[in-house]
Structure 1
Amino acid sequence: MVYLVAENRVLRVTYTAKVRIPASSGEVFLGPETGLEDMNEIVGLTVSVSSACVIVNLHRRGLFAFRYDRTLKWSTGPFIPQNVGNHQGCRKNFTDCYFVSHPVLDYCDANFYIANNQGELYSVTTNGPPHFEWIQDISSIGKNFSITSGNNGQLYLTFQYKAVIIALDVLEGTILWQQSIGSLSASDSAPVVDVNGWISIGSLDGYLYTISPSGVVTKLPRRKIKDTVIQVDPIVDCSGYAVYISQTKMEGMISRNIRGHTYVSAIKPIKTTITLLVPATGTVHWSESYPGALSNLFLETDLRNYAVDEKILLAFISSSNVGNPLSCYSTHQKLESSCSKMDLRKTRFYTGNETVIKIFLAIETILLILAAALVRFCCVFWSKKKLQNQDLGKFLEKRSSLRLQKKLYDRTITELEKEAAEGPSTNEMLEKIDDLVKERENVERKLLTTYSLGRDATSPQSTSLIPLFDNNKKNITDTSSEKGEISNEEVEEKDVKGKALMETESSGGDDDNDDDDDDDHDRDDDDHEAVLETQGVKILDEGDELQSGAGTSMRKRLNVSTIE
């Protein structure tokens, strides 16, 4: 599709290559027919494919971006308010500030560039709401200039009245170089850029000025042709590496310089020479003149009835690719080649408010960490052997019940200890506290083993902590039976009995989920303790529970049969 400006309307023409365009293929895209009555003067437009919109500059009204379906996407003026008393754009005077140039799109970074009437140049992003990437004040050089996108990381401004060209970095807006050229023929003269990054512009002195990406100026052709001028902007050929230029030899040409401006006058044009050359090397591939060989391209009736316009003639010859030995490339290939010269190390993309983005990233990082911890917990939780072939609801209900029991024991024990501290304590109260402590320890053991939410216990089966008798260690001293002391044989017999009782207790298996089994288990422990104490074995309860593979806890038992 092609978009054209026609007075106060924007036309859209749909066409297919190599197919004749029917009369009904054109339509009014924007205008009074579509409900826009206030489009008095359209300064210019550009089409952004990346953002799928048509950007139009309306005189003294601002920029308007319309989607392909004619709905308004966004609009903005030459300044954007920021903090109180601060704004972007129109630094000198924002009351009478407006855009004066047509928007120029850069196909590499997808931004477009536009100037206001105060000599400021804007870089505007097309992604999201309107945002000014940077604003460069060029008014010290001049307020009237044309904008040319290099599609290679550089932007070119041409000051026609001063015959000056400057190059800017498209990412930062800094001036890279500034060069003077010969006088230009029109107020809208602008250079063309080839895929090598060289810019070319014709002058009234008859030379083609070519400037390298680093700012080196070369004048072509190397031999000056007397009384010639270049009035028409060059055109890049289909390969993207060469340009067509038109030089006109004038009769009675006079050149004057008045107050820094060059004025050329002539009687009439004598001959026009069209040349195809490569700006980077100066190589000439083809050159013909009119009148001359170029006259054979036209019918004699056309030559007699119509005057030849250099601009139209140059456009037809370049589009016909006359005399061009170079291979043609598609627009995509040429853009790919020119954009590759852009310094990607300095590439920046507008992403919005940096402070908000940092806060969002911090919150997102915290959420990801929490999610990772939750996933890990779930993996550990569901891999527990105790949960396999069990009802999760019953497991959690039992665990909750145990936690409530533990809290109840804690509160009751605290109250009894407080009563015992404030008043006389009886043996019955102490025994009750001791029983409650044992019950609480039993509940805690279940919460830490059978009903824990952690990993399954991986420690090996605990071994017996009862010390065995060793003849090499003098734990028990033999004395005569006459003094009423216990002999080694009796001690060994008691050790064997205590060990047998211990093995019986440890082989009791895992705890059941029911509270009645736990109570029976505790009563058995008390019976075993009583038997062991009668046999001379003292129980030292250090409060450390040793978990076996089956979740059974044991207390240390030491033989205390010593000889006084």
Structure 2
Amino acid sequence: MAIKLLLLLLITMSTALSQSLDLKTFFISHGTEGGRLSKPLVTDDGRFYACSGKNLFAFESNGTVVWIVPLGYFCNAEIAPVVDERGKIYLIAENRVLKIIPSNIGTSKSTSEVLFGQNASIQSSGDIIGLSVSLSYSCLFITIKNRGLFALLPRGTLLWSAGPILYRFGYRQGCKENIRGCFFSSAPVVDQCEGTIYISNTEGQLYSLYIRSPHYRWIQDFSSIDKLMTAIPGNNGLIYVIFPTKASVMALDVYTGNVSWQQNTGPLSTELRLPVVDSNGWLSIGSLDGFLYSYSPNGEMKKLLQATAGNSVIQASPVIDCSGFALYASQTIMEGKSSHVLGNYTYISAMKPVRVLFTMLAPATGTVYWTGNYPGELSNLLSKSDLRYFALDERIFLTFLSSSKIGNSLPCHSMRQKIAWTCSKAKPKFVSMYTGNEKAILLFLFFQLAILVLLGCCVRFCVIFWRKKKLQDHGLVRFLEKRRSLHHKKKAIRRVISELEQKAAEEAGTHQTMAQLGEMIKAKEGIERKLSSSYSLGRDNVASRPRSLLPMYDGKAKSHSFHSARKESVTIFNTVSESSSSSEESATSEEGSCGIEGSWHSCEEVEMVRKGKEVEEAGPSSANNLEPGRASGESSPEFESSERIYGKTSFAGQQIDRWGRGGMVARRRTWSRRRTLSSTN
């Protein structure tokens, strides 16, 4: 058993040695030994990719080379490759965008092709400044100097292109002053949560564009601060902008482009040193003063690595670990360091480097998980990997530590999980497109509402007023004059009634006063009936209950009338003789002054008062007309029945009832009934 294990160990060592010898032979044959690696790319499977010369290398987490893809063009060492959601890798080589398909390695299919630039279906001339990829929309974005921004599909089809100037509705957007010398000067960065692209121009303006269309979302001008800037999306509702020469960090709202907060940082080495954003939304960037500056989404600042910051500098950008919540940072320990300030700038001077200190920590909590030195314990780690054949710098070493999970006790997450966690930190905002005076708007709305209510009331009144055929036939002026006349008559009758009541109280209720009072009350009730029914505005419907009968007395006879619901008029006449019938038909007019100037009485009313006086003057002589066998204090059964029915319906009826018992009870009466049909009007 021991022999088998020994043989297996020897076979493994020989295989590793042969691979190393083959890789060394490859470097020697191609003359690339000791070559410099470009900015690396780390994927979810733990591998990282970097270019050297005309080749793309894939490294395992332990630093072993997995495969090598010849490109035929020299890679751009300052622009890191990018990968889409399907595992295809895109990189820039000699102003061309190449697409690498790792799944075709080892097969007869082509592993690389020119996607954009010379010898491609979409040709373009100009320096490629940068590229990025959107994982959600599967789009590739390329910035070309003096040309603009291009959006491509993974198969190489051009989706859209945009320049730094856009004309819409006759207005120019972007490059407000120097139009000819204005162009995009930064690599496009994609906010994976918002689906937005951010890019800056040479005039100090930052653009926000939609992914699916070449339209600007907003443009912010920072030329008053500095024209040189670097933007990085927070994927949490914020976009961070760094001004290296001003040592300033700014957070913008992704919806409006407004500044959320601004903080100062230590002196930065160069604009090419990008900060990183972890899954908690914290922005971290290293400074030449030896501190690691971290900013929360709310603008809270922390100075980390303070214990070793006094004699160290940070020149490389931190690298996020596989969990997304921690990062690896490096501090170069110097033999000596000094700083001095000239104006608004801080200059750092350092002497010979001694060693490099690597630290893994969480910016949100400040927890340090691991610390290592090179040279030191990390020297043996590199000597066992294929990275020893390359000229390494701090960024490659940090990527190697992150891929190898050195000192990392946190669970790893995929890129989509990290983005989803970061996106959950964003707080959606509802942007108001109108910023006017809200109080003035409310007052205007209330004013409009009042006008509408007033118009509605007017329309309603007009509909009720004009729908009556009576008003349309006889005219509005005549109707109003007639109604005004009735109101005047009603007021005058009220005054007369009050005078008669006072006079009756003083004279102990004489027959003449009581008769006049009864007539006045009857006339007032007639006028009120006209005002409330026949001459109303749309409310002249006949009441559900029948009207009460009103007693009428003309001195010689009494009559009672009522109106039925069918607009019938029934009049019952009680006459003394045939000769008196003609006098009952004399009062037919409802209005007028009966020839008396300035009088408010109708002809019927004046005639009734006159006849009442004549009867009163007749006195006892009228007793001769009594029926034989009747006493002077008795009345006929018919008259008694009429008294029971009509004599007590109103105050006027009571007064007439008492007066009739005193002087008219003994009169013989013959009843005749006449029924006529007439309109209530």
TM-score under structure 2 normalisation? 0.48
> Is residue 146 of structure 2 the alignment partner of residue 60 of structure 1?
yes
* 1:162 equivalent in structure 2: 246
CA contact (8 A) 2:115 2:122 kept: no
* 1:120 equivalent in structure 2: 205
Pair 306,342 (structure 1): closer, same or farther in 2 beyond 3 Å: closer
* 2:95 equivalent in structure 1: 8
Please show how residues 99-114 of structure 1 align to structure 2 within 5 Å. 99-114=184-199
Pair 201,304 (structure 1): closer, same or farther in 2 beyond 3 Å: closer
* 1:271 equivalent in structure 2: 355
> Is residue 164 of structure 2 the alignment partner of residue 78 of structure 1?
yes
Q: Output the amino acid matched with 1:287.
A: T
1:14-57 residue CA offsets vs partner (Å, 9 max, x unmatched) = 1259x889994121111221144432211112223444432221
Q: Output the amino acid matched with 1:40.
A: G
CA contact (8 A) 2:288 2:314 kept: yes
1:316 alignment partner, SS class:
helix
Structure 2, unpaired ranges of 5+: 1-87, 434-681
> Is residue 346 of structure 2 the alignment partner of residue 258 of structure 1?
no
CA contact (8 A) 2:122 2:156 kept: no
In structure 1, C-alpha distance between the alignment counterparts of 2:304 and 2:108, rounded to whole Å: 43
In structure 2, C-alpha distance between the alignment counterparts of 1:300 and 1:112, rounded to whole Å: 42
CA contact (8 A) 2:320 2:326 kept: yes
CA contact (8 A) 1:244 1:318 kept: yes
In structure 2, C-alpha distance between the alignment counterparts of 1:275 and 1:134, rounded to whole Å: 39
Pair 49,277 (structure 1): closer, same or farther in 2 beyond 3 Å: closer
2:429 to 345, 350, 369: 345
Q: Output the amino acid matched with 1:130.
A: P
1:487-546 residue CA offsets vs partner (Å, 9 max, x unmatched) = xxxxxxxxxxxxxxxxxxxxxxxxxxxxxxxxxxxxxxxxxxxxxxxxxxxxxxxxxxxx
> Is residue 184 of structure 2 the alignment partner of residue 94 of structure 1?
no
1:325-354 residue CA offsets vs partner (Å, 9 max, x unmatched) = 0111111111111101112233799xxxxx
1:47-90 residue CA offsets vs partner (Å, 9 max, x unmatched) = 23444432221111111222223222211211211223x12222
2:379 alignment partner, SS class:
helix
Pair 92,295 (structure 1): closer, same or farther in 2 beyond 3 Å: same
CA contact (8 A) 2:90 2:98 kept: yes
Please show how residues 80-479 of structure 1 align to structure 2 within 5 Å. 80-84=166-170, 86-127=171-212, 129-299=213-383, 308-346=392-430
Pair 95,259 (structure 1): closer, same or farther in 2 beyond 3 Å: same
In structure 2, C-alpha distance between the alignment counterparts of 1:302 and 1:41, rounded to whole Å: 33
Please show how residues 21-36 of structure 1 align to structure 2 within 5 Å. 24-36=110-122
In structure 1, C-alpha distance between the alignment counterparts of 2:108 and 2:133, rounded to whole Å: 23
Aligned-pair identity (%):
46
Q: CA deviation at 1:192?
A: 0.7
CA contact (8 A) 1:221 1:282 kept: no
In structure 2, C-alpha distance between the alignment counterparts of 1:120 and 1:226, rounded to whole Å: 36
Q: Output the amino acid matched with 2:132.
A: T
Q: Output the amino acid matched with 1:279.
A: P
1:230-267 residue CA offsets vs partner (Å, 9 max, x unmatched) = 11111111111111000110123333333333333333
In structure 1, C-alpha distance between the alignment counterparts of 2:228 and 2:307, rounded to whole Å: 33
Q: Output the amino acid matched with 1:124.
A: L
CA contact (8 A) 2:126 2:147 kept: no
Pair 16,280 (structure 1): closer, same or farther in 2 beyond 3 Å: farther
In structure 1, C-alpha distance between the alignment counterparts of 2:416 and 2:155, rounded to whole Å: 26
* 2:124 equivalent in structure 1: 38
Pair 320,343 (structure 1): closer, same or farther in 2 beyond 3 Å: same
Moved more, 331-340 or 215-224: 215-224
Pair 49,211 (structure 1): closer, same or farther in 2 beyond 3 Å: closer
Q: CA deviation at 1:226?
A: 3.0
In structure 2, C-alpha distance between the alignment counterparts of 1:325 and 1:14, rounded to whole Å: 33
1:317 alignment partner, SS class:
helix
CA contact (8 A) 2:196 2:209 kept: yes
Q: CA deviation at 1:301?
A: 11
1:34 alignment partner, SS class:
coil
In structure 2, C-alpha distance between the alignment counterparts of 1:327 and 1:297, rounded to whole Å: 22
In structure 1, C-alpha distance between the alignment counterparts of 2:143 and 2:432, rounded to whole Å: 26
* 2:19 equivalent in structure 1: none
Pair 239,15 (structure 1): closer, same or farther in 2 beyond 3 Å: same
1:226 alignment partner, SS class:
coil
In structure 2, C-alpha distance between the alignment counterparts of 1:310 and 1:46, rounded to whole Å: 23
2:358 alignment partner, SS class:
strand
Q: Output the amino acid matched with 1:315.
A: T
1:115-154 residue CA offsets vs partner (Å, 9 max, x unmatched) = 1111111110012x31111111111111101110101110
1:44 alignment partner, SS class:
strand
Count of equivalent residues: 353
Q: Output the amino acid matched with 1:15.
A: P
1:254 alignment partner, SS class:
strand
In structure 2, C-alpha distance between the alignment counterparts of 1:35 and 1:176, rounded to whole Å: 43
1:201-226 residue CA offsets vs partner (Å, 9 max, x unmatched) = 11111111011111111101243443
In structure 2, C-alpha distance between the alignment counterparts of 1:45 and 1:347, rounded to whole Å: 30
Please show how residues 475-554 of structure 1 align to structure 2 within 5 Å. none
Q: CA deviation at 1:290?
A: 1.1
CA contact (8 A) 2:143 2:149 kept: yes
CA contact (8 A) 1:160 1:188 kept: no
CA contact (8 A) 1:247 1:274 kept: yes
Pair 108,96 (structure 1): closer, same or farther in 2 beyond 3 Å: same
In structure 1, C-alpha distance between the alignment counterparts of 2:432 and 2:141, rounded to whole Å: 22
Q: CA deviation at 1:157?
A: 0.6
In structure 1, C-alpha distance between the alignment counterparts of 2:390 and 2:222, rounded to whole Å: 43
Q: CA deviation at 1:6?
A: 1.2
Pair 306,37 (structure 1): closer, same or farther in 2 beyond 3 Å: closer
2:402 alignment partner, SS class:
helix
**What is the Cα-based RMSD across aligned positions, in Å?**
3.0
Q: Output the amino acid matched with 2:209.
A: V
Pair 52,141 (structure 1): closer, same or farther in 2 beyond 3 Å: same
Pair 304,52 (structure 1): closer, same or farther in 2 beyond 3 Å: closer
In structure 2, C-alpha distance between the alignment counterparts of 1:318 and 1:239, rounded to whole Å: 10
